[in-house]
Amino acid sequence: KAGVTQTPRYLIKTRGQQVTLSCSPISGHRSVSWYQQTPGQGLQFLFEYFSETQRNKGNFPGRFSGRQFSNSRSEMNVSTLELGDSALYLCASSLDSHGGEKLFFGSGTQLSVL
Amino acid sequence: QQQVKQSPQSLIVQKGGISIINCAYENTAFDYFPWYQQFPGKGPALLIAIRPDVSEKKEGRFTISFNKSAKQFSLHIMDSQPGDSATYFCAASSDTGRRALTFGSGTRLQVQP
């Protein structure tokens, strides 16, 4: 079974631009969560989507948004990029049933904002 | 109240030794406590998890000890191997956000041969 796939692997943007990151969950997984990982703040929860609806949201500004498609694939968008948005963005998928708390992470998208 | 505090920040252990990483939490609503292992260039991978109805859970060389009254839990890696060298994160969540994990700051473990 293929794991969680995130594209692109690396991304370089400049301040003020916007960016879209993509995540394909494990087949059969309907929940997709996004996390931001930085050396200073560690791993922080961004949001979770299930059945195309945002189910939970972390403490991030509105510049961070996401969506989920009917095939469970998800995208996250960051608008008006700031230098502090440079981070590894991780997507995780999970079942929405017994054992659904187990998150399967992708390898992430490394975003650099210049 | 959402924090999970993890220590130590880094740890060096000799091959065959025991690695111990500690975490403490404040939010009493937390009821799920996983440990994740992350290698460079990879996303975190679930290692072992515990719920507060048990005080200990063991899977192979990995054991979680849980102290509900102290709001602390720890990971013990027995017979540590160089392949265990990675960053370890404790985490916690509640039933209102099962996948909204609150992570500790991470422990970089180095197992010397």
Q: pLDDT digit string (tens) for A13-30? A: 999 999 999 999 999 999
pLDDT reading at B106 higher than 60:
yes
Mean pLDDT of B57-63: 96
Contact A56 B99 (CB under 8 A): yes
Q: What is the pLDDT of residue A95?
A: 86
Closest chain B residue by Cα to residue A4: B43
pLDDT at A73: 97
Token pair 């502090």 in the structure block, residue: A84
Quote the pLDDT of residue A98.
57
pLDDT at residue A2 in the model: 84
Inter-residue contact A27 to A69 (CB < 8 Å): no
Angle at A37 between CA A63 and CA B57, to 5 degrees: 130
Q: How confident is the model at residue B1 (pLDDT cuts 50, 70, 90)?
A: low
Nearest by CB to residue A43, choosing from B46, B49, B103, is B103
Q: Label residue A68 exposed, middle or buried (CB < 10 Å: 0-12, 13-18, 19+).
A: buried
Q: Is the pLDDT assigned to residue A56 strictly greater than 80?
A: yes
- One-letter amino acid for residue B96 of the chain: T
- Integer-rounded Cα Rg, in Å, for chain B is 13
Q: How would you label A12-43 residue by residue, b for 16+ Cβ within 10 Å and e otherwise?
A: ebeeeeebebebbbbeebbbbbbbbbeeeebb
- In whole angstroms, what is the distance from residue B39 CA to residue A108 CA? 12
Q: Which residues of B touch A104 (CB under 8 A)?
A: 45-46
Find the mean pLDDT for residues A100-110: 92
Give the model's confidence band at B88: pLDDT under 50 very low, under 70 low, under 90 confident, else very high. Answer: very high
CB contact (8 A) between residue A42 and residue B93? no
A interface test, pick of B2, B3, B98, B99 with most A CB neighbours within 10 Å? B99
Q: Which residue has the tokens 């490394």?
A: A110
Structural contact between residues B66 and B33, judged by C-beta atoms closer than 8 angstroms: yes
The predicted pLDDT at position A5 comes to 97
